Amino acid sequence: MDKIRIRGNRPLSGKIAIGGAKNAALPLMMASLLTDATLTLANIPYLADITTSANLLIQHGVSVKWRGFRAKAGPEGRSVELTADTISSTEAPYDLVRKMRASVLVLGPLLARCREARVSLPGGCAIGTRPVDLHIKGLERLGAEIDLAGGYIQARAPHGLKGAEIVFPQVSVGATENLLMAASLAEGETVLVNAAREPEVVDLANCLVAMGAQIEGIGSDRVKITGVERLHGANHSIIPDRIETGTYLMAAAITGGDVELLNTLYEPIAAVARILEGAGVEVTTTETGIRVRRENGRLLGVDVMTEPFPGFPTDLQAQMMALMATAEGAAMITETIFENRFMHVPELCRMGANINVHGASAMVRGVGQLTGAPVMATDLRASVSLVLAGLAAKGETIINRVYHLDRGYERLEDKLSACGAEIERLGDGSE
Ligand code: UD1
């Protein structure tokens, strides 16, 4: 099993290109099931979750063609062509779904197009129980008959789906995406109330419109979809990854570096940039991207609460905690989206951080300097928070179980090494 070794305490300096957003790419790939024509997605990142999604689609009968990967063109030059002209299976098996929760996003499209679907329940996961009840209740409102049996969601809509008003009791990115896709092919009008407004949801809605869907209120919490009989193909370029962007902003900040992030946008991470500015980090836009700098200034503790977009994203909470562990003063970090998303805390404490968790909040008392240690990655964002801590720490940090990183960060070691980090992957061939 691969490990990452970092010799830290050196500032990052240089440029980092940001890839297409993983969390936009996954639902966009599933949207290919809605049409028999070809959906081409450009700026596709090369990540383990993308391969898992492709394998899932292939077993549903979708033809998947990768373009531009050999040319080493970088994500902008790459695309994937997805053609679901015939759907040979409406079942998403446990073996694939367990690898990636987002597999449940095939449920809405399959049900809308084929009037039936059998999708394995994703089950629990490291960051809490993460149920899919909102997806199921929403699809039932559209007239689907759904049973849970043998660990599977069995859904049928023999007479097709019918538009309805769906009021989400809680904001859910995945449920909003599943319902957007299903409602696009339902009969009549669907209104989603308290819909998620994340940029990835907006990207999906824009692509659906390019495929012929009728959607109003995109980017607001009240979205109206008027179903159409058929959708057609489209060419769509995936938005830049705001979580990868935020992660490298914090990597530069934690090392006291000066980095320009290319191929990305400021607006989706505006809330994060404002928090970082409060912590003494300079974040400015340039003609080609975003520049982040903390050359001499002190890093100050600031309080952070995760919230649905446009608030501070839960997917940057662990990275922010690593940053705050090295600040002057205290920071209260409150996680409101997921229960049990503090698994990085004991690992950061092994590196000298002073963090106490009380329920959904963590009190981080900055210690200035962390020290390298062997640590264990537990999930995608927790893993990268340990990379950030390692970059700032004195001495050597070895991060075990780094396969989590490959689900969300493309060529992480290369991107950081190019900015002066001493980071390398060690394969020891063992489990
Ligand atoms: C997506 C992102 C993930 C991010 C999360 C929140 C993808 C592939 N993943 O996950 O990286 O951390 O949004 O921004 O885009 N919930 C229910 N019932 C449901 C669905 C959700 O109770 O049926 C709860 C969840 O347990 C959680 C909250 O709602 O507490 C938000 O989850 P949700 O927005 O659905 O997250 P995902 O779409 O799974």
pLDDT digits (tens, 9 = 90+) for 354-410: 999 999 999 999 998 999 999 988 888 889 999 999 999 999 999 998 888 888 999
For residue 5, pLDDT over 50 is answered with yes
Burial state string for 279-306 with b = 16 or more CB within 10 A and e = fewer than 16 = bbbbbeeeeebbbbbbeeeebbbbebbb
Question: Which candidate, 62, 34, 39, places its Cα nearest to that of 225?
Answer: 34
Distance from the alpha carbon of residue 298 to the mean position of ligand 1, in angstroms: 35
For residue 104, pLDDT over 60 is answered with yes
Q: How far apart are the first and last CA of the chain?
A: 5
* pLDDT (0 to 100) of residue 136: 95
* pLDDT (0 to 100) of residue 159: 94
The reply to whether ligand 1 has any atom less than 6 angstroms from the CB of 102 is yes
Lowest-confidence segment of 223-237, 242-256, 335-349 by average pLDDT: 335-349
| Dist. CA 401–CA 382, nearest whole Å | 11
| Dist. CA 89–CA 156, nearest whole Å | 14
Cis bond before residue 109 (omega within 30° of 0): no
Q: How confident is the model at residue 297 (pLDDT cuts 50, 70, 90)?
A: confident
* pLDDT (0 to 100) of residue 131: 87
Closest atom, ligand 1, to C-alpha of 308? 14
Q: Has 125 been annotated as catalytic? A: yes
The residue whose CA has the least distance to atom 13 of ligand 1 is 173
Amino acid type, 179: L
The reply to whether ligand 1 has any atom less than 6 angstroms from the CB of 170 is yes
Mean pLDDT of the chain: 94
Distance from the alpha carbon of residue 41 to the mean position of ligand 1, in angstroms: 23
Closest atom, ligand 1, to C-alpha of 101? 39
CB-count exposure of residue 140 (10 Å: 0-12, 13-18, 19+): middle
Amino acid type, 123: G
Cβ pair 205, 215 in contact under 8 A: yes
Helix (H, G, I), strand (E, B) or coil at 284: strand
* pLDDT (0 to 100) of residue 379: 84
Distance from the alpha carbon of residue 130 to the mean position of ligand 1, in angstroms: 7
CB-count exposure of residue 132 (10 Å: 0-12, 13-18, 19+): buried
Cβ pair 383, 6 in contact under 8 A: no
Return the DSSP state at 32: G
| Dist. CA 368–CA 365, nearest whole Å | 9
CB-count exposure of residue 159 (10 Å: 0-12, 13-18, 19+): exposed
The angle formed by the CA atoms of residues 71, 74 and 76, to the nearest 5 degrees, is: 110
Give the whole-number percent of the chain exceeding pLDDT 90.
85
User: H or E segment at 93?
Assistant: none
* pLDDT (0 to 100) of residue 74: 64
Distance from the alpha carbon of residue 124 to the mean position of ligand 1, in angstroms: 12
Q: Which of 29, 47, 52, 130 to mutate to test the pocket of ligand 1 (most atoms within 8 A of CB)?
A: 130
Task: Average the pLDDT over 66-85 and give the result.
Answer: 83
The residue whose CA has the least distance to atom 35 of ligand 1 is 172
Closest atom, ligand 1, to C-alpha of 243? 11
The reply to whether ligand 1 has any atom less than 6 angstroms from the CB of 174 is yes
Measure Cα distances from 163 to 141, 349, 362, 418 in Å: 8, 51, 43, 51
Q: How confident is the model at residue 431 (pLDDT cuts 50, 70, 90)?
A: very low
Give pLDDT tens digits for 20-73: 999 999 999 999 999 999 999 999 999 999 999 999 999 999 999 999 877 665
**Given its phi and psi angles, is residue 129 left (phi above 0), alpha (psi -120 to 50 degrees) or beta?**
alpha
pTM of the model: 0.96
* pLDDT (0 to 100) of residue 125: 52
Distance from the alpha carbon of residue 134 to the mean position of ligand 1, in angstroms: 10
Contacts for 374 with CB less than 8 Å, ≥ 6 apart: 350, 397, 398, 400
Task: Average the pLDDT over 219-246 and give the result.
Answer: 98
Closest atom, ligand 1, to C-alpha of 132? 23
Contacts for 117 with CB less than 8 Å, ≥ 6 apart: 90, 91, 92, 106, 107, 110, 111, 153, 155
The reply to whether ligand 1 has any atom less than 6 angstroms from the CB of 264 is no
For residue 169, pLDDT over 60 is answered with yes
The residue whose CA has the least distance to atom 22 of ligand 1 is 131
Closest atom, ligand 1, to C-alpha of 129? 26
| Dist. CA 103–CA 85, nearest whole Å | 20
Lowest-confidence segment of 131-145, 262-276, 415-429 by average pLDDT: 415-429
The reply to whether ligand 1 has any atom less than 6 angstroms from the CB of 134 is yes
* pLDDT (0 to 100) of residue 430: 54
Task: Average the pLDDT over 347-354 and give the result.
Answer: 97
Contacts for 378 with CB less than 8 Å, ≥ 6 apart: 126, 343, 344, 347, 401, 404
The reply to whether ligand 1 has any atom less than 6 angstroms from the CB of 218 is no
* pLDDT (0 to 100) of residue 39: 98
Distance from the alpha carbon of residue 75 to the mean position of ligand 1, in angstroms: 26
* pLDDT (0 to 100) of residue 232: 98
Q: Work out whether strand 116-120 and strand 91-92 pair parallel, antiparallel, or are unpaired.
A: parallel
